């Protein structure tokens, strides 16, 4: 199905939803309505928050109206003044505000369906959408126009398809996504928690800290391979520094501030300015370039509470940040090195990815000439790398264009993680220089580079990608030894100690519980290896080992098991 047909199907489903809301809540007033290829939502002003029961009843009413009146809407073009009069006559203040202030320039279309009337931006469709198979997914509060100073409306979200089979496939995908939800699995696997005392700021439990540390260990191995030096910068720095860097002008609404000895300080949202000061602290020669600084820096950024989403959207996170200071003739080679680094790290996880070249945004700093040079340089790098990419106009950083990596998880969802950004602006703002081969002062260029992006967000993606069943090298507990009876507990503990001495994260479960219950608990914890020991194993120095996801057990000598498991861990195999 073409994109425009899919959008029209979702728009028709949204209209029937609005008609059903008005049928059940006669005083309801319509706010925003949005239909895309991925689904639809409608914001309504009703007397109380909508419950799951309300959503089910609205969906049933929408289906009844659809069956009674059919699915062919009446479309006609309308000018802005007529749209405004329509909404004012129907006492629709939110839609009137949309027509008066928010509607983009261009054609407007009036759509009438089953007594429900609305106006949207764009021309009437060229095709009849047919009868949609649709489903209302949920309702939640949403600020009008996304502004917390405005009233909260009720947002009803749904999705529509041309065929029932497509809808069923989508709902099955949604259910799989719910089962993989990192917030649910994070609690089940005791990885992290959130508390009201620090909203939007994760607390990592021992299991979660192990996984994070493994991710950092992996990253550090590649930092060494690619010649980076690890640094650390302060959590708070003077406001003037952020004014100098450009963050104050472009980013201050997302920053946190404090006062000390009558000096205004800002909690860092990024590591860049600190690395600029490190470069500047002494005279530099061209022979030192490139200089590669890397930092696992904890940063803080203000997010509205409604935007928070587990580890995927938080107020503090660890950025695996790096800044490479280069001379102009080193841009291509260092950007290519950064691409190779990202490719190697993502290969460990088996991620597929696509690339985007994001160009100058409207809110940016620097000259047209610098931006043109920077964008052309990154385009040459992508072509030299032989990687397919698409251009994402206007989505660059405020200081420079960037190459973004979008990884695809097990459910084929796309996540933007790694980034390589080219910056001519910040070195100039900080007055950075190096002495070239002619003994003249030159301004370096900076390549901003991240692989995970946010380690916290990357961990959330991994939890959902693996459905909590981490590969062996990354699993918080890699093996558990379960004695059949109390008399086998000492042997189980002896085996556990041998595993730990070999570098394997292992536990022994000697609880006074039935064997089946302990095995089931280990499976729920998604531990890669479950080793059971009884009389025969104790006498022969064996383990009955079952690997996660497999039914059959294998009798292995302890030394043989250790060699096999340790080898897989060392090679970072699944």
Contact 230, 295 (CB under 8 A): yes
What is the per-residue pLDDT for 527?
Answer: 98
Catalytic residue check, 448: yes
Q: Which of 301, 360, 505, 525 is catalytic?
A: 301
- Predicted confidence at residue 130, as pLDDT, reads 65
Whether 313 and 303 have beta carbons less than 8 Å apart is answered as yes
CB 186 within 8 Å of CB 166: no
Contacts 24+ apart (CB under 8 A), 142-145: 142/43, 142/306, 143/306, 144/31, 144/32, 144/43, 144/94, 145/32, 145/102
pLDDT at 198: 94
Question: Residue 481 — φ and ψ, nearest 5°?
Answer: -105, 125
> Are the beta carbons of 195 and 203 closer than 8 angstroms?
yes
Q: Is 402 a catalytic residue?
A: yes
**Both structure tokens of 204:** 């990592």
Tell me whether strands 263-267 and 256-260 are parallel, antiparallel or unpaired: antiparallel
Q: Please identify every stretch of the chain with a pLDDT value under 50, giving residue numbers as ranges.
A: none
pLDDT of 465 reads: 96
Single out the catalytic residue among 22, 275, 292, 323. Answer: 323
Is 318 noted as a catalytic residue in this protein? no
Res 70: pLDDT: 66
Which DSSP symbol is given to 198? S
465 is catalytic: no
Q: Where are the alpha helices (DSSP H) in 180-326?
A: 182-188, 206-225, 239-245, 247-251, 272-280
Which is the catalytic residue, given 42, 110, 272, 318? 272
Catalytic residue among 95, 315, 337, 402: 402
Please enumerate in sequence order all residues whose Cβ is within 8 A of that of 196, keeping only pairs 6 or more positions apart, or say none: none
Q: Is 42 among the residues known to form the active site?
A: no
Tell me the Cα Rg of the chain.
29
**Catalytic pick among 8, 319, 370, 425:** 319
Q: Name residues whose C-beta falls within 8 Å of residue 434's C-beta, 6 or more positions apart in sequence.
A: 284, 285, 286, 288, 289, 325, 327, 441, 442, 444
**φ, ψ of residue 385 in degrees (nearest 5):** -75, -15
Catalytic residue, candidates 54, 320, 321, 404:
321
Q: Please, are residues 403 and 381 in contact by the beta-carbon 8 Å criterion?
A: yes
Active-site residue identified among 275, 300, 448, 465: 448
Write 179-182 long-range contacts (CB < 8 A, 24+): 179/467, 180/410, 180/411, 180/463, 180/464, 180/465, 180/467, 180/468, 181/310, 181/464, 182/310, 182/311, 182/312, 182/459, 182/460, 182/461, 182/463, 182/464
């Amino acid at each position: 199905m073409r994109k425009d047909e899919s959008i029209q199907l979702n728009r028709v489903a949204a209209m029937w939803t609005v008609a059903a809301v008005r049928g059940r809540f006669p005083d309801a007033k319509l706010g925003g309505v949005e239909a895309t290829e991925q689904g639809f939502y409608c914001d309504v002003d009703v007397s109380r928050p909508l419950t799951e029961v309300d959503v089910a009843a609205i969906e049933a009413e929408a289906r009844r109206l659809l069956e009674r009146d059919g699915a062919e809407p009446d479309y006609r073009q309308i000018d802005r003044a007529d749209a405004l009069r329509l909404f004012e006559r129907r006492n629709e203040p939110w839609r009137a505000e949309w027509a008066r202030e928010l509607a983009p320039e261009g054609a407007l279309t009036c759509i009438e369906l089953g007594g429900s009337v609305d106006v949207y931006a764009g021309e009437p469709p060229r095709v009849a959408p047919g009868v949609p198979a649709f489903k209302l997914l949920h309702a939640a509060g949403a600020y009008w126009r996304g502004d917390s100073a405005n009233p909260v409306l009720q947002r009803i979200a749904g999705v529509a398809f041309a065929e029932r089979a497509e809808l069923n496939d989508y709902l099955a995908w949604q259910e799989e996504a719910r089962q993989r939800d990192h917030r649910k699995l994070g609690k089940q696997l005791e990885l992290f928690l959130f508390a009201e005392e620090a909203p939007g700021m994760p607390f990592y439990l021992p299991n979660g800290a192990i996984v994070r540390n493994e991710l950092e260990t992996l990253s550090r191995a590649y930092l060494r391979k690619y010649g980076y030096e690890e640094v650390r910068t302060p959590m708070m720095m003077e406001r003037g520094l952020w004014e100098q860097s450009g963050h104050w002008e472009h980013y201050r609404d997302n920053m946190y501030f404090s006062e000390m000895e009558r000096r205004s300080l800002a909690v860092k949202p990024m590591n860049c300015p600190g690395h600029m000061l490190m470069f500047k602290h002494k005279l530099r020669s061209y022979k030192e370039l490139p200089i590669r600084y890397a930092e696992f820096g904890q940063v803080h950024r203000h997010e509205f509470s409604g935007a928070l989403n587990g580890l995927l959207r938080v107020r503090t996170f660890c950025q695996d940040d790096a800044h490479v200071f280069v001379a102009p003739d080193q841009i291509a080679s260092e950007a290519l090195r950064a691409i190779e680094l990202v490719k190697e790290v993502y290969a460990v996880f088996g991620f597929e990815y696509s690339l985007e070249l994001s160009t100058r945004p409207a809110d940016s700093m620097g000259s047209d000439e610098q931006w043109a040079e920077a964008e052309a340089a990154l385009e040459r790098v992508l072509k030299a790398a032989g990687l397919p990419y698409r251009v994402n106009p206007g989505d660059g950083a405020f200081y420079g264009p960037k190459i973004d990596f979008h990884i695809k998880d097990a459910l084929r969802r796309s996540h933007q993680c790694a980034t390589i950004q080219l910056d001519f602006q910040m070195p100039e703002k900080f007055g950075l220089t190096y002495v070239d081969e002619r003994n003249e002062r030159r301004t370096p260029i900076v390549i901003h580079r991240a692989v995970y992006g946010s380690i916290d967000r990357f961990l959330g993606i991994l939890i959902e990608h693996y459905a909590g069943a981490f590969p062996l090298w990354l699993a918080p507990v890699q093996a558990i030894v379960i004695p059949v009876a109390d008399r086998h507990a000492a042997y189980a503990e002896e085996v556990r100690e041998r595993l730990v001495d070999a570098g394997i994260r292992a536990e022994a479960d000697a609880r006074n519980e039935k064997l089946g219950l302990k095995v089931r608990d280990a499976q729920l914890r998604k531990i890669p290896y479950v080793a059971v020991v009884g009389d025969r194993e104790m006498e022969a120095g064996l383990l009955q080992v079952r690997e996660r996801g497999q039914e059959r057990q294998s009798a292995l000598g302890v030394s043989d098991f250790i060699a096999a498991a340790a080898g897989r861990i060392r090679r970072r195999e699944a």
